[in-house]
Structure 1
Amino acid sequence: MQRTKGIKRAQFLAGMASAGLAAAALPAGRARAAEGGAGQARTAGRGLRHHGVVYTVGEGETPGTAFSTARMRKDIRVIRDELYADTVDVTGDGVERLTATAAEAAERGLRVWLQPTLGDVPERDILEHLAETGRFAERLRRQGAAVDLGVGCEFWLFVPGIVPGDDVFERIRNLLAGTVDPVAMQRRLDRFTAKAAAVGRSVFHGRLSYAAAQDDHVDWRLFDIVGIDYYSYFPHKADYVRQLNRYLRWGKPLAITEFGTCAYVGAPETAGMGWDVVDRDKQEIKGDLVRSERTQATYLTQLLDAFSSMDLYAAMAFEFVTPDAPHRPGDPRHDLDLASYALTKTIKDRPDDPASGWHWEPKEAFHALARRYRSARTGRPHAH
């Protein structure tokens, strides 16, 4: 999950980290019927079927980074023709932005994973936002486009009332403080997840999914595809495969709805906390980080190696571009791109001007994925 009512990816990942603590507090013996009667874990099969990237729509934090239809269209063409992805995860909030981007991706022949993620508003607004987006996804599907619908992302963090707190920050603080009743939290989460699944089913007749954190307890009987935001770090591919196998036990297709890391030495080892290197008050990098685009690229290709050795439905790298985390060459203290998971680096024309124009340039991770994705598309071995 990316920006929701001004929430950045960094803030979302803070919630993921606290989710690990919250999950540890959940009743260990709470077995799901869906987990018990599933098929056997599989490590062999067709391999990774769809190779994708997350593309976030949103209004942006500054006038210079506001959503632009013209820019989006150019980006979608690059995703198809230069990154060689066959799938784009269109996510964020704003029905018009979501549907315009999904339509462009479908027109370009890409598979669309459409995932609205409106948050921090009343439940009825979130569900109506989902319904409107889902109706459009169904129209695309009936017109012949390849479309999957995700009903949302980690509801416990963004939907008011599941975890106490007026906003994402207060919910995170409550989770970290241990003041949340895990049984009541899970009950409320189950209730809303079932509501969202029912809304999705009522308007969309293709494959339905949901993006869960790795330790979330989800009744996957509600969905056709298991969706996991995956940020683990292991030294060996076998360890990834071993962990991912547990998500296959429901006997349903598995999609990695997010995977990635930041571009500095040591970022993969943070297991999803790589964003936590910025002093938000000063808007500068904490500590003396060593920028390393190679580190980011290596981690992503290692994960792809693991995904490709399994029978997975799709994997979407997080994310294509993060306009609000600009790169400043030669100024490591203010190189906010170090906290970005993007495959590209944002370069502002006038670094200190909020209204400045900008462009992106590919990182090593972009080129590394492009080689893998092109190889998957053509069937030819990739060049190292």
Structure 2
Amino acid sequence: MANTTGIDRKQFLAGALALGTAGALMPSGQATAKQQTVTGSRGRGLRRHGVVYTVGEGGTPATAWSPSRMRADLRAIRDELHADTVEVTGDGVDRLTATAARAAELGLHVWLQPTLADVPERDILEHLAETGRFAERLRRQGASVGCEFWLFVPGTVPGATVLDRVENLLNGTFDPVKTQRRLDAFTKKAAALGRSVFHGNLGYAAAQDDEVDWHLFDIVGIDYYSYFPQPSSYIRELHGYQRWGKPVAITEFGTCAYKGAEKTAGMGWNVVDHTKSPEEIKGHLIRSEHTQATYVADLLEVFESMGLYGAMAFEFVTPDAPHRAHDPRHDLDMASYAITRTVEDRPFDPAPPWHWEPKEAFHVLARHYARCAH
């Protein structure tokens, strides 16, 4: 088992909210979200099969977003992974919109989810509005806009920075009632803003235990990281999200690549000692791409059997978590949810060139997505 702190992802992410217009999952000219629930695909498999693609500045210039790498990655997502949807997330309107535009050009549906952190609320809302205006221009091809609020909006959870807020959540040094009240207020404000700039169907992605007013939204979105030995338990839990009579989209799912990671309730990433230089894996974990691939395959079968609206595997690549095949202590890819492994051309170089290689989970998804495309 992973060396966690005793708190599971459901507690850690309580209140983790992602607002998004769901044009990606509901191209214009089609039925409304509510109509598609009534006449939708339940029992006929997922409607959308996707992957999360993160844009950002990266830990070094070498791992930062670049236009050329983005274009190559998106083509691989379409042609090698056989996905039809990409969830573009991160900060920086230029990066988000350039990636979304290229994905749309390639014929991919887009779930656009901005995450701007540690700035005043008005800046976060403006970032959301700018992205939403761009999403409106892409709507006929499929686009959406979103942001996680509990972590990125100062004042929701105590702490000056994202890391401070994470620590307070882990330590339990926050008031859940006040947190929920602040989240509710900001979510309503952001939902109203989203609807003012984007005229498609509005979606929302939440942590599993969030208390959400789903009347504000057209799509029920869940970041799903449960583990059960039997498929029937997943189905029973996921049925709870269908009671709203709206399409259900799995906006994140997956696990890390070591034995026992699937049982960590989404906290599998919490096995890296960031106080060491270079960073290293805690304990004596055993790398297992098979663990990750099996979990992904099992959840896909559940989602398909329930006819959920869409599912996005988390995530395509994590450049700042390199795989070091002959050095398990520093094999940070074990603590990554990526379906590809990042391989440095010169390990431990401060800014090494790198490339990605597909992991077992990539091949599982590719086979599944290719079958569903025909």
Superposition TM-score, scaled by structure 2 size? 0.88
SS in 2 for 1:91: strand
State yes or no: 1:342 paired with 2:368: no
Letter in 2 for 1:211: A
CA shift in 2, pair 1:354/1:121, >3 Å: same
How much has 1:63 moved relative to structure 2? 1.5
What is the aligned partner in structure 1 of residue 93 from structure 2?
95
Residue 147 of structure 2 aligns to a residue whose secondary structure is strand
1:102 to 1:356, Cα distance in 2 relative to 1, 3 A:
same
Counterparts of residues 300-339 of structure 1 (less than 5 Å): 300-339=296-335
Shift of 1:309: 0.7
Q: Tell me which amino acid in the other structure corresponds to 2:105.
A: E
Q: Secondary structure at the match of 2:51?
A: strand
Task: Give me the identity figure in percent.
Answer: 70
> Does the alignment pair 1:377 with 2:370?
no
Q: Structure 2: give runs of 5+ residues left out of the alignment.
A: 1-6, 17-36
What is the CA–CA distance in structure 1 between the aligned matches of 2:115 and 2:329, rounded to whole Å?
32
The structural deviation recorded for 1:171 is 2.2
Q: Which amino acid aligns with 1:290?
A: I
Which amino acid counterpart does residue 320 of structure 1 have in structure 2? F
User: Which residue does 1:120 correspond to in 2?
Assistant: 118
Are 1:262 and 1:340, in contact at CA under 8 Å, matched by a contact in 2? yes
The residue that corresponds to 2:79 in the other structure is: 81
Matched to 1:19, the amino acid is F
Q: Secondary structure at the match of 1:115?
A: strand
Tell me which residue corresponds to 1:30.
none
Question: Residue 21 of structure 1 contacts residue 176 of structure 1 at CA under 8 Å; is this kept in 2?
Answer: no
Equivalent residue number for residue 246 of structure 2: 252
Is the Cα contact below 8 Å between 2:14 and 2:210 reproduced in 1?
no
- 1:210 CA displacement: 2.0
Match of 2:141 among 145, 164, 170: 145
Paired residue type of 2:77: I
Matched residues in 2 for 1:178 and 1:64: separation? 36
CA shift digits 1:97-126 (9 cap, x unpaired): 000000010000011111111122111111
Does the 8 Å contact 1:211/1:228 carry over to 2?
Answer: yes
* Contact 2:15-2:211 at 8 Å conserved across structures: no
- Deviation at 1:223? 1.0
- Structure 2 Cα separation of the partners of residues 79 and 286 of structure 1: 32
Distance 1:359 1:179, change over 3 A: closer
Q: CA deviation at 1:21?
A: 7.2
- Listed one character per residue, the Cα deviations across residues 192-222 of structure 1 (whole Å, up to 9, x for unaligned) are 0011111110110112112211001111111
Match of 1:111 in 2: 109
Q: Could you tell me whether the CA contact under 8 Å between 1:48 and 1:314 is conserved in 2?
A: yes
Displacement over 4 Å in runs of 4+: 20-23
Give the deviation of 1:165 after TM superposition. 1.4
CA distance in 1, matches of 2:8, 2:319: 21
Q: Following TM superposition, by how much is the alpha carbon of 1:350 offset from its aligned partner in structure 2, in angstroms?
A: 1.0
Deviation at 1:169, TM superposition (A): 2.7
Does the C-alpha gap of structure 1 residues 15 and 73 become closer, same or farther in structure 2, counting only changes over 3 Å? farther
Matches within 5 A, 1:124-203: 124-141=122-139, 144-147=140-143, 149-153=144-148, 155-203=149-197
Instruction: Indicate if the aligned counterparts of 1:19 and 1:213 stay in contact, CA closer than 8 A.
Output: no
Asked if structure 2 preserves the Cα contact closer than 8 Å seen for 1:151 and 1:208, the reply is no
Deviation at 1:174, TM superposition (A): 2.9
Distance in 2 between residues matched to 1:285 and 1:173, nearest whole Å:
19
Alpha carbons of 1:70 and 1:176: their partners in 2 closer, same or farther (altered >3 Å)? closer
Aligned to 1:6: none
Partner of 1:9: none
**Closer, same or farther in 2 for the Cα pair 1:179/1:267, shift >3 Å?**
closer
Q: Secondary structure at the match of 1:309?
A: helix
Alignment RMSD:
2.1
Pairs aligned (count): 346
SS in 2 for 1:151: coil
Task: Quickly say closer, same or farther: Cα 1:165–1:15, change in 2 above 3 A.
Answer: farther
Can you list the C-alpha shifts for 1:71-100, whole angstroms capped at 9, x where unaligned?
000000000000000000011100000000
Q: Equivalent residue for 2:21?
A: none
For 2:49, the equivalent position in structure 1 comes to: 51
The equivalences for 1:209-358 within 5 A come to: 209-282=203-276, 283-358=279-354
1:176, distance to aligned residue in structure 2 (A): 3.9
Q: CA deviation at 1:316?
A: 0.2
The one-letter code of the counterpart of 2:313 is A
Identify the residue that residue 19 of structure 1 maps to in structure 2: 12
Matched residue of 1:289: which SS? coil
Q: Secondary structure in 2 aligned to 1:88? A: strand
**8 A Cα contact 1:225 1:252, kept in partner:** yes
